[in-house]
Every structure is written in C-alpha cells, then in structure tokens.
Amino acid sequence: EEEAFLVSLYKFMKERHTPIERIPHLGFKQINLWKIYKAVEKLGAYEMVTGRRLWKNVYDELGGSPGSTSAATCTRRHYE
C-alpha cells in the first residue's frame, strides 16, 4: 500500500510539473511522505485538518520537536 501510494504521488507531482526532486525535511528529520499522508487522512483529510487547525497535531504525529514555533505552518506547506 505504501509503495503504491509513493509511485502514484511521484507520478501525480510529475504530471503537474512539480516533481518531487528531494524529500522535504521538518527540522532535521526527513519527512516520511506515507506517514504524513496517513496522519492527515486519520484526522479527516486536508480540508478538515486545515479548517480545524490541526497541522500541529500532524507535526506531533510525525515526531516533531515540541519547541518548534512554526511547526504547523511548515507541516502544512510540505503537505501541500
């Protein structure tokens, strides 16, 4: 399931002319794209997470540093 998701994601991003050149980082940790997708899905998908301002929860789910002040914004930007 994870591998199929990643293949589909890379294909989708390439088709819209925004290929994933490298995996983004949050702090010093490389983002697990499957994990961030599942975390957002678990909280009700993008619209729900954005509407309820749950991006900090997604960041926490990824094991982010509790001291980061821009965690929610950075997490959302990377997801988008």
**Res 70: pLDDT:** 80
Rounded Cα distance between 5 and 41, Å, is 13
> Does some domain include residue 4?
no
**Res 47: pLDDT:** 95
> Does some domain include residue 42?
yes
Q: Max Cα separation, the chain?
A: 37
Q: Are 72 and 56 in contact (CB under 8 A)?
A: yes
- Name the domain count of the chain: 1
> Does some domain include residue 17?
no
The domain of 39 spans 24-79
C-alpha angle 37-65-35 in degrees, rounded to nearest 5 = 15
Q: One digit per residue, pLDDT tens: the chain, 80 residues?
A: 999 999 999 999 999 999 999 988 887 788 899 999 999 999 999 999 999 999 989 988 888 777 776 888 888 888 88
Q: Which residues are bridge partners to 25 per DSSP?
A: 30
> Does some domain include residue 30?
yes
> Does some domain include residue 49?
yes
C-alpha angle 80-38-74 in degrees, rounded to nearest 5 = 35
> Does some domain include residue 75?
yes
